[in-house]
Amino acid sequence: MEAVEAKAAPLPDDPTTGEKPAVLIIGGLGYTGQFLAKYIHENHLASELRLVDKHLPELAWVAPEFKEAVSRDRFVQADASREQSFPRIFDRTNGNEFDYVFNCGGETRFSQEDDVYKVRSYDLSMAVGKECARRKIKCYVENSTGMVYKPESTPRKETDKLKPWSKLAKWKLQAEEDLEKIEGLNLLVLRVAHVYGPYTRKFLSTALCMARVYQSMGKEMRWLWKESLKTNMVHVDDVVRALWTGVEWYGKASSLPRKPAPVFNIVDHGNTSQGTTASLIQQVFDIKTGFHSTLISAFARLNLDHVVDDVNDETLDPWADLQSKAGISQTTPLSPFMEKELLKDTDLCLDGSLFEKETGFTYKHEKITKELMEEIIESYKVMGWWP
């Protein structure tokens, strides 16, 4: 199954060199990194495209249609948080610098210790940011998270109060603030909602795996808290288009770096809530969905560790059984394992209008639909991940 194609107008060649920009993607084998590489490659947007990742392509769950974009000749295996790796990461054979550097790397798992985020996310951002400033890179993009705001059910604007509600977000915000202080860094920050799309293996994939378990058991799938709890999303095709639109826009300023560094929310128009997801899951899986009573939710709020353990106990063994029956023996990135940080009664609700107004960007996927959810499941089947 082919992912939805997202074509871009080829970028005008640089009038001074006659060349398209040279692009470096840190975390190029991560979920967003792979889609960004494919988008740039298929639309012939770059004169040179290099992907850097700690992992090897063979271990990165690369789907067939990404093989060309993330090919070995574009790939450098390196830890971009370590200064001694920089010559291999940044040096080009023609002696020129990269034009755009996208940081799609860092720790993406939730509920890790602070040290893990500091070393794998914060230190990475700071090391790459300093090197980009030193090499006078035209634009460095920090791919951040919308979880940095004080949670509210009304959409958060970029100027609203910041109060990160996950450890991942805490360190992402620290990186944002400290990158801003680096002299001469052409910094652009994008705060992204929950990303979904083919092969997704984060937030939404957990709900889909749980739904498959409840479907197999013939049980109702019930959520904590309330239907109106906001879980805003954005399709990965729109995320990578936004990343590219951002760097094009950044360079149009009369003087660089832009100060203060521009920060934009990236989120679709669906204002997705738990109720939205429950309704779509009911349609796709043909199972009953609902919400626990306020009494149970109040109990859960006080005993979240216990509740999370119970949920995981209920789903993990049946999921393993489903995989076994389907003959899935290899490790897959899918699991119904529920992270405590994602089960919090906190709204992820963003206002993305500033980016659209400033750059003229438009979303191709206005909101998540039954068809887009089914497309995700089909992509899992293509990879042999889905029981």
pLDDT tens for the 387 residues of the chain, in order? 444 445 554 545 554 456 899 999 999 999 999 999 999 999 999 999 999 999 998 888 999 999 999 999 999 999 999 999 999 999 999 999 999 999 999 988 888 889 988 999 999 999 999 999 999 999 999 999 999 999 999 999 999 999 999 999 999 999 999 999 999 999 999 999 999 999 999 899 999 999 999 999 999 999 998 999 999 999 999 999 999 999 999 999 999 999 999 999 999 999 999 999 999 999 999 999 999 888 788 887 888 888 889 989 999 999 999 999 999 998 999 999 988 888 888 999 999 999 999 999 999 999 999 999 999 999 999 999 999
CB 310, CB 242: distance < 8 Å: no
Distance CA 54, CA 316 (A): 29
At 15 the pLDDT is: 46
Identify the pLDDT of residue 339.
87
Phi, psi of 369 (to 5 degrees): -130, 170
Q: What is the model's pLDDT at position 17?
A: 52
In a domain, residue 294? The reply is: no
- Evaluate whether residue 229 is within a structural domain: no
Please give the Cα distance from 344 to 308 (Å, whole number): 10
Residue 100, domain extent = 22-194+235-266+351-360
Residue 326 within a domain: no
Residue 158 within any structural domain of the chain: yes
Which CATH number belongs to the domain containing residue 49 in this structure? 3.40.50.720
292 CB-near residues (< 8 Å, 6+ apart): 222, 223, 224, 300
Instruction: Please state whether 103 falls in left (phi above 0), alpha (psi between -120 and 50) or beta.
Output: beta
Between CA 163 and CA 151 the distance in angstroms is: 8
Give residue 244's identity as a one-letter amino acid code. Answer: W
Residue 163 located in a structural domain? yes
- In this structure, the number of other CB atoms found within 10 A of the CB of residue 266 comes to 26
* pLDDT score for 2: 42
The whole-angstrom separation of Cα 193 and Cα 145 is: 6
- What would the 3-class secondary structure string for the chain be? CCCCCCCCCCCCCCCCCCCCCEEEEECCCCHHHHHHHHHHHHCCCCCEEEEEECCCHHHCCCCHHHCCCCCHHHEEECCCCCHHHHHHHHCCCCCCCCCEEEECCCCCCCCCCHHHHHHHHHHHHHHHHHHHHHCCCCEEEEEEEHHHECCCCCCECCCCCECCCCHHHHHHHHHHHHHCCCCCCCEEEEEECEEECCCCCCHHHHHHHHHHHHHHHCCCEEECCCCCCEECEEEHHHHHHHHHHHHHHHCCCCCCCCCCCCEEEECCCCCCEHHHHHHHHHHHHCCCEEECCHHHHHHHHHCHHHHHHHHHHHHHHHHHHHHHHCCCCCCCCCCCCCCHHHHCCCCECECCHHHHHHHCCCCCCCCCCHHHHHHHHHHHHHHCCCC
Contact criterion met (CB below 8 Å) for 151 and 165: yes
Position 70 in a domain: yes
Amino acid at 51: L
Integer CA distances (angstroms), 309 to 60, 168, 293, 315, in order: 28, 21, 19, 10
In a domain, 366, yes or no: no
Residue 31, CB-side half-sphere exposure with 13 Å CA sphere: 20
Residue 121: name the closest of 38, 188, 30, 183 by CA.
Answer: 30
Residue tagged 């988008």 (tokens) = 39
Residue with tokens 């990160």: 164
pTM over 0.85: yes
Q: How many domains does the chain have?
A: 1
The answer to whether residue 257 is domain-embedded is: yes
Whether the Cβ atoms of residue 163 and residue 150 lie closer than 8 Å to each other: yes
Per-residue model confidence (pLDDT) at position 8: 56
